[in-house]
Amino acid sequence: MKRTIIDYLLLLGGALIIAASFHFFLSPNQVVPGGVIGISLLLENWLGIAPAVTQWSANIPIYLAGLWMLGGRFALKTAVGTVVLPLFVLLFGQIDYVPTTNPLLAAVYGAIGMGLGAGLVFRGQASTGGFDLIAQLLHRYSGIHYSLAVAILDGAVMLSSLLLFSPENTMYALIGLFIASKTIDAVQVGFGYSKLAIIITEHKQRLSQVILQDLDRGLTQLQGFGGYTGDEKHVLMVVVNRREVIKLKRLVQANDPHAFVVISDTSEVVGKGFTLHGY
């Protein structure tokens, strides 16, 4: 029950942020995002149809098609997201306020808000409908990769903006698409990038002790074999934060100068000493 409540709060909060970003930044500056929300902006400027009306008119049939063709994976949370996002857009439409008329600033801040909202919705394991569902349908029935399907659909909407708005607005929208994708990643995996070290050594016990005692980090001992010789190798796997990388390398160098060390970035670590929960 607690997890379900958190998911719905993330869904509602994310939809609220998406709607606010659309109304205050993107819509008044004619910067077209991807998806159904982008189509609603195009139709508003072309035919005068309120964005919320377009979003409801498109999202509800798409949701019903997804429910019929893909089954139970589109349950209540997706239905809620399909309804509340246009509702929030409609409510924000009553506020006559524009923070900026600079389209570049609008694209940047609007994209940050769109990415933040979408990331929260995804963390709630939900969807606001629209092109997310169409992309999954294309993936299932045509074999097109999901991310490619999303890129094609969003790109088509943005390029369509050339028919109504200036090329500069479309270029701002493409900048916004990049920023939004990076913001979604940041919300999904966080900013706490850590380092994963793989150490191949002949002195397993000695290195294990100095890492445990001097670095105060846990580690995992693995068994490996040389690809050429077939000889058994001792492998240590340890995760450290960025401030501890130099200390780790110096400890390895001092205790086994011949050790083979691979250090790579890892986006998120869930467990004692790092993030305790993955949501």
Domain at 248, CATH number = 3.30.70.120
**Spatial distance between the Cα atoms of 264 and 109, rounded to a whole number of angstroms:** 31
Among the candidates 159, 189, 219, a domain finishes at 189
- As a three-state string, the secondary structure of 93-143 is CCCCCCCCCCHHHHHHHHHHHHHHHHHHHHHCCCCCCCHHHHHHHHHHHHC
Same-domain status, 9 and 112: yes
Q: Which residue has the higher pLDDT, 75 or 149?
A: 149
Same-domain status, 94 and 10: yes
pLDDT for 75 equals 67
Model confidence at 185, pLDDT cuts 50, 70, 90, reads: confident
Same-domain status, 82 and 150: yes
pLDDT for 14 equals 93
Among the candidates 158, 189, 220, a domain finishes at 189
* Residue 251 belongs to domain spanning: 194-266
Same-domain status, 185 and 76: yes
Model confidence at 159, pLDDT cuts 50, 70, 90, reads: confident
Burial of 71 (0-12, 13-18, 19+ CB in 10 A): exposed
Q: In sequence order, what are the residues at sequence separation of 6 or more whose Cβ sits closer than 8 angstroms to the Cβ of residue 107?
A: 25, 26, 29, 31, 172, 173, 175, 176, 179
Same-domain status, 88 and 205: no
pLDDT at 230 over 60: yes
pLDDT for 109 equals 96
Same-domain status, 180 and 245: no
Please report where in the chains the tokens 């995992």 appear, as a residue: 220
Model confidence at 253, pLDDT cuts 50, 70, 90, reads: very high
pLDDT for 272 equals 61
Vertex 225 angle, CA 221 and 229, to 5°:
150
Percentage of the chain exceeding pLDDT 70:
89
Among the candidates 147, 165, 189, a domain finishes at 189
**Spatial distance between the Cα atoms of 36 and 72, rounded to a whole number of angstroms:** 23
For 274, phi and psi rounded to 5 degrees?
-130, -135
Single pTM value for the model? 0.73
Helix, strand, or coil here: 163?
A: helix
Q: Mean pLDDT across the stretch 158-183?
A: 88
pLDDT at 20 over 90: yes
Same-domain status, 29 and 48: yes
Percentage of the chain exceeding pLDDT 90:
40
CB 172 within 8 A of CB 31: yes
Look at residue 45 and tell me if it is in a domain. Answer: yes
pLDDT for 72 equals 56
Helix, strand, or coil here: 33?
A: coil
Look at residue 272 and tell me if it is in a domain. Answer: no
Model confidence at 279, pLDDT cuts 50, 70, 90, reads: very low
pLDDT for 192 equals 58
Counting every residue, how long is the chain?
A: 279
Same-domain status, 118 and 178: yes
Same-domain status, 157 and 232: no
Dump pLDDT digits (tens) for 41-78.
999 999 999 999 999 888 888 877 767 765 555 567 77
Q: Which of 94-108, 121-135, 148-162 has the highest mean pLDDT?
A: 94-108
CB 99 within 8 A of CB 165: no
Structurally, the chain folds into a number of domains equal to: 2
Please give the structure tokens belonging to residue 84.
């509340």
Same-domain status, 27 and 41: yes
Same-domain status, 85 and 110: yes
Q: Mean pLDDT across the stretch 77-106?
A: 91
Please give the structure tokens belonging to residue 43.
């139709």
Average pLDDT, the chain: 85
Same-domain status, 49 and 163: yes
pLDDT at 153 over 50: yes
